[in-house]
Structure 1
Amino acid sequence: MSHHAAPDPPWGFDDRAPQRRRWPVVSGGLIAGLVVIALVVVFLVRRDDPAAGLEPPTAPLVPADGVTAGGELSGQARALADALTQRGLECSVRFTAPEGGQTGCFAVQDVTGTTVEAIFQHHPDGSVIGLNLKVNGPKYTRGLLRSLIDIAGPVVFPADHPAVIDIFNRAFAGFPEGSWGDYHLLGHGAKTYLSASKRNITPIKVPVLHLDTTEPQLADALRADGFTCTGDNETCTGQPAMALKFSGPDTGITYLVATATNGATTPETFNQLRIKVFAHLRGNAVGPVFDWVGLHLGGPSRSAFVAGWRVDLVVSDKQIRLTLFNEETWLVPE
């Protein structure tokens, strides 16, 4: 496997002032071998079957007027999802509306906790109109972002890709403008990202979702199960080493975190917490999310859009944490 010479610190952990040089990049359809050795990050593993990373479609849910949870991809959106799943990310369609939809592709590296995501909006014909690439880790993630840009750029903005990479190589941050659209780049530190929007295109409105269970209803139900909850009905704790945080308006919960720690970090123990909590939740997303967590509880950390909601499952020796939330805001350069 051939690759360009790497800088002294392993690629992906070099966050010194950028210099005019060539970085190791995707070459011959495979990621530079040094990256695989140094980072062992799941999304760098090539897959021969792009469909292997796509979440299977579920029965249609209608979380908002004219909006369907999930959906099918076509055209450029499908090509982007295929390119990302070939590198080990898992993709799921968040919603489909008459004006288009939104899809997310995710990967989590369990050893370091580094997360990689590519979330994009697309029109019904599949043309991508907005893209957010993000890498978040405990150390420098510049190299991982570069790899992610090199996967997405040739598919979404091939004419602008060289200029974006030029800015990336010469600066920690920048606001490139190209023939396809506008960009906001941050390539320095533990949290790096590229946000891009197609010029003169209005982003698709993201539906506002909530569960049918309110904060007081869930807190009262958990108290009846033996949990201790705060007076604001937003935090509950139970044994062994179980904790919940949740919030939302009077219409229902929009954010929920369930955590097991301190010896309670087995799938069996967390499954008890899952059953207790979801027994008190109401809404059309409850069943699909309950099933998704049960399906993946014994495996590694992962993220997905399920029934229109963002679901993050973090599995480590120290904790198992489930986060369910509604990403209402779609931010891209204007």
Structure 2
Amino acid sequence: MIGGGVVGIVLIGLLVFLGIHAFGGDDKPASGPTTSEQPTGNPTDGGDNNGELGNATGQAKTATEKLQGLGYGCSDLFNTAQGAHRGCFKYEGATEAQAIFQFQSDGTIIGVDLTSQNEDNVNNAAVTFDAALQALGNDTFGGSEVKKVQDAIKTGQKSQKVGSTWGEFELRNDGDTVELSGGKSGSDSLDLPKKTFDTTEPQLAAALKAKQYVCTSSCSKQVGKYGSQRVYFYASEGEGIKQIEMSASGDPGDVKKALPAAVNDAFGVLKGGDVAALKSYIQSHSDGKSSASYVAGWRVEITGNASDDYASQRINISYETFFV
């Protein structure tokens, strides 16, 4: 992964989980309900989920409730009679964390990806990771298997495999980031929706150039004396855009105007059935607080930082990746 959320295609997933601090310090994304009456969505297209949670029982329900209790906001990429893909995201000060897992219709968790990152304080990243590991792992893997992971972290190795009765884990403990991924033995991960917009890279670049953007590896224009607003996008050859990032940096007053302008410029060109839902989510989360959610089968992250004389804000929309 990444992350989230934290990411070829894996590197793209990681880009959206870079260590950018939250706007407002210890702000947390709003948590949805743990369950709803009926499963929703279609794993081939992302379904109709717009940041909500579908049905969950057993291990998945327990893990979700415990993560929400730790301040994570959770949503489903899809949730069907065959199974679900759920992501729980947390922003607390300089710490960014995600707990992504797939589960079967009976709630049995079959794949996990836990990540915690803090560039300012390695210990805080480790503490956040351990809390999520116990919240999800004690009931899913068992306490003894959780301890195996904890003991492996203590060895200080940057990357290692950890065997367990549940399945095999891949552990990465690289300075400011701790990540654990793994799949349940005998279970196959659920396929993720392939998401693209109808708009291609050349079409979006041409439209932004007409709005006085300078386009090289991304499209940008100057804002104020030292700032900029930027639109980055990516697509496979001959396909529609599958990742887009809108950002602004510079004087806080300039950034406050520049980011909405970049969003309007990009969404004024983007075409596809998910555009309205994505823009609605972004507009409803324009309060300066960091958040992440699955919306219409896409992963959306809103992050940034600010001081008295400098601010940076970013919105990233990408298709999800999950390799365990």
* TM band (smaller chain): 0.7 to 0.9
- Residue by residue over 1:247-272, the C-alpha shift from the partner in whole angstroms, topping out at 9 and shown as x without a partner, is 10222001111111112654443222
Change (3 A) 1:194 1:120: same
- 3-state DSSP of counterpart to 2:162: coil
Unaligned runs of 5+ in 1: 1-39, 46-51
Equivalent of 2:247 in 259, 268, 275: 259
1:157 to 134, 141, 152: 141
Q: 1:79 to 1:63 in 2, by over 3 A?
A: closer
- Please give the TM-score of this superposition, normalised by the length of structure 1: 0.75
- The answer to whether the 8 Å contact 1:285/1:307 transfers is yes
The correspondence for 1:127, drawn from 108, 113, 118, is 108
Matched, 1:107 2:90: yes
The answer on 1:73 being equivalent to 2:93 is no
Q: Aligned residues: percent identity?
A: 26
Does structure 2 retain, via aligned residues, the 8 Å contact 1:117–1:134?
yes
1:225 positional shift: 2.1
- Any runs of at least 4 consecutive aligned residues in structure 1 with deviations exceeding 6 A, and if so which? none
CA offset at residue 92 of structure 1?
0.8
Answer yes or no: is 1:117 the counterpart of 2:113.
Answer: no
Cα deviations by residue, 1:283-325 (Å, 9 ceiling, x for unpaired): 1221111111111112311211111111111121221111111
Amino acid of the structure 2 residue aligned with 1:78: K
CA distance in 2, matches of 1:64, 1:166: 39
Matched position secondary structure for 1:64: coil
The number of residue pairs the alignment matches comes to 277
Once the two structures are TM-superposed, the CA of residue 171 in structure 1 deviates from its matched residue by 4.7
Deviations 1:52-105 (A, max 9, x none): 612799xx766836x524351311212211110111010010123553221100
**What do you get for the CA RMSD once the two structures are aligned?**
2.6
Give me the whole-angstrom Cα distance separating, in 2, the residues matched to 1:109 and 1:203: 30
SS in structure 2 of the partner of residue 212 of structure 1: coil
Which consecutive unaligned segments of at least 5 residues does structure 2 have? 1-24
Q: 1:187 aligns with which of 165, 173, 198?
A: 173
SS at match of 1:225: coil
> Which deviates more from structure 2 when the two are superposed, residues 91-100 or residues 171-180?
171-180
- Conserved? CA contact 2:27–2:289, under 8 Å: no
In structure 2, relative to structure 1, the CA distance for the partners of 1:145 and 1:63 (3 Å cut) is closer
Letter in 1 for 2:214: T
Determine which of 275, 285, 289 is the counterpart of 1:296.
Answer: 285
Q: Cα distance, 1:213 vs. partner?
A: 0.6
Q: Cα deviations across residues 121-172 of structure 1 (Å, max 9, x unaligned)?
A: 1112221100100012214122322222122111321252233333334453
Q: What amino acid sits opposite 2:75 in the alignment?
A: S
Aligned-pair CA distance for 1:42: 5.8
Q: Which amino acid aligns with 1:287?
A: A
2:19 corresponds in structure 1 to: none
Q: Please name the residue that 2:202 is paired with.
A: 216
Give the Cα–Cα distance (whole angstroms) in 1 for the partners of residues 190 and 260 of structure 2. Answer: 36
Partner amino acid, structure 2, of 1:148: A
Q: Highest relative contact order (Cα 8 Å, sep 6+), 1 or 2?
A: 2
Of 142-151 and 82-91, more deviation after overlay is shown by 142-151
Alpha-carbon separation, structure 2, partners of 1:220 and 1:55: 42
CA distance in 2, matches of 1:295, 1:316: 19
- Residue 126 of structure 2 aligns to which amino acid in structure 1? R
Q: TM-score under structure 2 normalisation?
A: 0.77
In structure 2, how many angstroms separate the alpha carbons of the residues matched to 1:124 and 1:158? 20
Partner amino acid, structure 2, of 1:101: A
- Cα distance in structure 1, aligned partners of 2:268 and 2:91: 28
1:177 aligns with 2:163: yes
Change in Cα spacing, 1:223 to 1:207, as seen in structure 2 (3 Å) is same
In structure 2, the residue matched to 1:202 is 188
